[in-house]
Amino acid sequence: MPDDISKKLEKLVAELKLYAKDIEIGSKTMDKESIKILEEKVKKLREERDEREKNGSLIGDELDKTKKILEENEKLLSILKKSTTLTGQFELNFSSTADYLRNLVTDFKEQFSIAQNVARVYKQLGRNIGETGENAKIMEKTFKDVLPSFTRMGLDSNDLQNSIESITELTGRRFNLNEKDLKNIGAMAEGVGLSVQKSAEMAESFMLMGLQTDKIEENIFETYKSSQKMGLNASKVIDVLSNNIRSIQTYSFVNGVKGMTEMAKQAVKMRMDVSDVLSMADKFYQPEAAIEAAAELQLLGGEIADAFGDPFTIMYEARNKPEELAKRIQDMTENMLQLNKKTGEYELPAEARMQFQSLGKTLGLNVEKMIEMSRQTAKIRDFKMKFTQVGDEDMKESLATMAKMGKDGKMVVEYKDEAGEKKQAKLEDVTEEMAKSILNGNQTQEESLYDIAVNTKVSADYVKNLKEASAQKISLTSNIYEVTAEEIKDSMLVPLENGIDALLKTVTEVGESKAREYMKDIDPNSTTLSDALTNLDDFSKLLKDETLTVLENFNKKFKETTDTISIGSGNTNVKPGNTNDGILTSSGELFSFNSKDDFFAAKPGGVFQQVLQENYMKDTSEKIVKVDFGKLDLNISSDNPNMNFTPEQKNQLITMITERIGKSLYNEDITGGNTTDGFKSRFVYNS
């Protein structure tokens, strides 16, 4: 058939498009062998089409259609062939992104889907933080405006939701953040590797001090860059600051936020905890305590006495410059360990250990941490002395933190030459210009934390984030969800809801009417058997497991049994009061009465009254009464393996069932002899 070739070509187009999609998202890669197989498919279809064109079996619209489909196949195949190279892979990613965004502009269904997924998050957010009315609309607009920026950084709508929830939870206030505030919080998180929750908490702490988020981001970014320049792990410094911001802000820093960030840098450089420095500051906060502590430290002599000689200077630093107090500890401990030139190791003299123990006791510091800090500061001290061609002390210290042991046993620093190749230089060979180049090279060249967050992604993720962010801008800017959803609600959902309510009302009214009609036909005396099940306390105590199942089974069997009961008069000789009196079944089995037996009265009009009238009312002399239950076979058993009744338990059940049958037949709980209509009904049954 002529259209066979069209179907084959269309199928191949779909196959090639699927390949391109898989390559775009990274789930597949193309190799030369795969390309060769696809080329062969296209070639065969081209030859088949050409043959049909020649023999005239392919004409008219079908001829043009197959030509266009074949051209599309060849174009797709060309793109896939390019994907086997690096540049081709980039081209495929960028071209597919461009095609997607171009089509999205007119694909309102896809726009609505994207916008609806975003709306689902911000509506849940509004509910979680209690935002309604006009303020909810402001929050929703801000959410939509900032989301593309979050996406560009590799974050998502849930991260944005967590940021807002964290801020509002900490402040206890309604949403009052703008797009710039949230963008900065996201940048501080993704730029330095914090969670959005920790970033939000740190931002809230600084905001409580009176800073705006753009100023906060600026300070954090400067701390990040200066930490890099010092040879420190910049992300570690920010993390330490974030973890300790609550306690740090309870102290006075004359230099404000800068002093706080310096404290974090000192802690990372010296390998000590911020909490230890702040705890030590408390020791010198009051004049009396400062004088007493300084006097004790003076007795230790040496570097310790020099560092803590002036109690009032120490008290000032504790109150206003805790970061300087941390620096004082570094200067104090750097000479307490000595380098053994033979072994190349730093040794701890016995007297130094005793000083550390006394120092730890007086200042409340951990001895092991102080010794570790002393090793670090001793290394920095010795390395600084090697930089003979560098004059600036801060530059020396920063370079010293970057120094490491070279292959020949000499200390070196690494740097990149003009060609970008990595080199090593001995410390004594580093010049002032080299030092500046090395330190500046360690710093990020980005201009903000947002740039760091965006530009530190691999190319595939960069393109993916760009694509998603652009799609969000297109879908959210048009407000397609809000407009469409409102229209759907007014024109469809509200009428549908009203219709359902009307339907339920009709069903209820009709149902009630029919139910009342049915109830009229029910015999009020038909509750006999249900009443027999209203007091099963004794029976329930015998149940072990699966109570509900067993009870249902019992109810079913009980009903089947009682349905077979019939009562009438007969001539079996069983005399009430005799020692062998009881209930006799048609099978001849006798259920004898005992000392627990009781009497009950027959209900007027009931079956027992008929028996009594026949046997007692006609003649007051002692008569023989037969109560015929028909075929009554009570078998106590269960299909539950855990329900193993003992013979005694079975007898108890039979006794209880017999009693309930007797009582239920008259819808009365009888506890003694009764009279009915002027005569005594003294039918005796086993209980």
Let me know if residue 187 belongs to a domain: no
- The whole-angstrom distance between residue 29's C-alpha and the CA centroid of its chain comes to 33
Contact partners, residue 491, CB within 8 Å, separation at least 6: none
State the sign of the Cα–Cα–Cα–Cα dihedral 552, 555, 557, 559.
negative
Buried (b) or exposed (e) across 452-478, using 16+ Cβ within 10 A? bbbebbeeeebbbbbbbbbbbbbbbeb
Are 630 and 510 part of one and the same domain?
no
- Is 534 a residue whose pLDDT tops 50? no
Q: Which range has the worst mean pLDDT, 10-14, 174-178, 511-515, 627-631?
A: 627-631
Q: Average pLDDT for residues 369-396, to the nearest whole number?
A: 84
Q: Token pair of 344, please?
A: 């190349």
pLDDT band at 165 (very low <50, low <70, confident <90, very high): very high
pLDDT band at 181 (very low <50, low <70, confident <90, very high): very high
Q: Average pLDDT for residues 510-531, to the nearest whole number?
A: 56
Q: Token pair of 561, please?
A: 């049994």
Let me know if residue 659 belongs to a domain: yes
- Is 25 a residue whose pLDDT tops 60? no
- Is 577 a residue whose pLDDT tops 50? no
Identify which of 325, 331, 238 has the alpha carbon closest to the alpha carbon of residue 279.
325
Last residue of a domain, one of 522, 544, 574: 522
Beta strands 675-676; 679-680: pairing state: antiparallel
Q: Average pLDDT for residues 181-189, to the nearest whole number?
A: 93
How high is the pLDDT of residue 349? Answer: 87
How high is the pLDDT of residue 565? Answer: 43
Are 565 and 668 part of one and the same domain?
yes
How high is the pLDDT of residue 103? Answer: 86
271 in the Ramachandran plot: left (φ > 0), alpha (ψ -120 to 50) or beta?
Answer: left
How high is the pLDDT of residue 315? Answer: 92
Are 517 and 534 part of one and the same domain?
no
- What is the rounded average pLDDT for all residues in the chain? 75
Q: Average pLDDT for residues 2-15, to the nearest whole number?
A: 69
How high is the pLDDT of residue 670? Answer: 41
- Is 276 a residue whose pLDDT tops 90? no
Are 534 and 670 part of one and the same domain?
yes
Q: Average pLDDT for residues 248-264, to the nearest whole number?
A: 88
Let me know if residue 144 belongs to a domain: no
Number of domains comprising the chain: 3
Let me know if residue 28 belongs to a domain: yes
How high is the pLDDT of residue 625? Answer: 41
Q: How many CB atoms lie within 10 A of CB 436?
A: 13
Instruction: Report pLDDT digits (tens) over 397-449.
Output: 888 888 887 777 778 888 777 777 788 888 888 888 888 888 877 778 788 89
Last residue of a domain, one of 77, 104, 131: 104
- Is 491 a residue whose pLDDT tops 80? no
Are 556 and 673 part of one and the same domain?
yes
How high is the pLDDT of residue 369? Answer: 86
- Is 616 a residue whose pLDDT tops 80? no
Q: How many CB atoms lie within 10 A of CB 76?
A: 19
- Is 182 a residue whose pLDDT tops 80? yes
Q: Which range has the worst mean pLDDT, 133-142, 148-157, 166-175, 624-633?
A: 624-633
**Which helix H or strand E contains 385, and what residues bound it?**
helix 367-386
Q: Average pLDDT for residues 586-599, to the nearest whole number?
A: 56
Residue ranges of alpha helices (H) inside 428-492 are 432-442, 449-455, 459-477, 480-488
Residue 133 pairs in a beta bridge with none
Are 650 and 516 part of one and the same domain?
no
Q: Which residue has the higher pLDDT, 88 or 574?
A: 88
Let me know if residue 42 belongs to a domain: yes
190 in the Ramachandran plot: left (φ > 0), alpha (ψ -120 to 50) or beta?
Answer: alpha
How high is the pLDDT of residue 228? Answer: 87
- Is 352 a residue whose pLDDT tops 90? no
Are 546 and 496 part of one and the same domain?
no
- Is 119 a residue whose pLDDT tops 90? yes
How high is the pLDDT of residue 316? Answer: 92
Let me know if residue 71 belongs to a domain: yes
How high is the pLDDT of residue 542? Answer: 45
Q: Average pLDDT for residues 309-320, to the nearest whole number?
A: 90
pLDDT band at 58 (very low <50, low <70, confident <90, very high): low
How high is the pLDDT of residue 89? Answer: 59
Q: What percent of the chain has pLDDT over 70?
A: 67
How high is the pLDDT of residue 472? Answer: 92
pLDDT band at 72 (very low <50, low <70, confident <90, very high): confident
Are 556 and 678 part of one and the same domain?
yes
Q: Average pLDDT for residues 523-551, to the nearest whole number?
A: 46
How high is the pLDDT of residue 541? Answer: 45
How far is it, in rounded angstroms, from Cα 302 to Cα 474? Answer: 70
Are 534 and 595 part of one and the same domain?
yes
How high is the pLDDT of residue 279? Answer: 87
Q: What percent of the chain has pLDDT over 90?
A: 15
- Is 130 a residue whose pLDDT tops 60? yes
- Domain containing 76 equals 2-104
pTM for the model: 0.58
- Is 229 a residue whose pLDDT tops 50? yes
Contact partners, residue 233, CB within 8 Å, separation at least 6: 227, 268
Are 514 and 591 part of one and the same domain?
no
Is residue 348 a contact partner of residue 373, using CB atoms and an 8 Å limit? no
Last residue of a domain, one of 39, 72, 104: 104
Is residue 232 a contact partner of residue 239, using CB atoms and an 8 Å limit? no
Q: Which range has the worst mean pLDDT, 212-226, 511-525, 657-671?
A: 657-671
Are 627 and 493 part of one and the same domain?
no
How high is the pLDDT of residue 554? Answer: 53
- The whole-angstrom distance between residue 602's C-alpha and the CA centroid of its chain comes to 68
Let me know if residue 253 belongs to a domain: no
- Is 278 a residue whose pLDDT tops 70? yes
Are 555 and 488 part of one and the same domain?
no
How high is the pLDDT of residue 628? Answer: 45
pLDDT band at 601 (very low <50, low <70, confident <90, very high): very low
- Is 285 a residue whose pLDDT tops 70? yes
Q: Average pLDDT for residues 278-303, to the nearest whole number?
A: 87
How high is the pLDDT of residue 620? Answer: 44
Let me know if residue 428 belongs to a domain: no
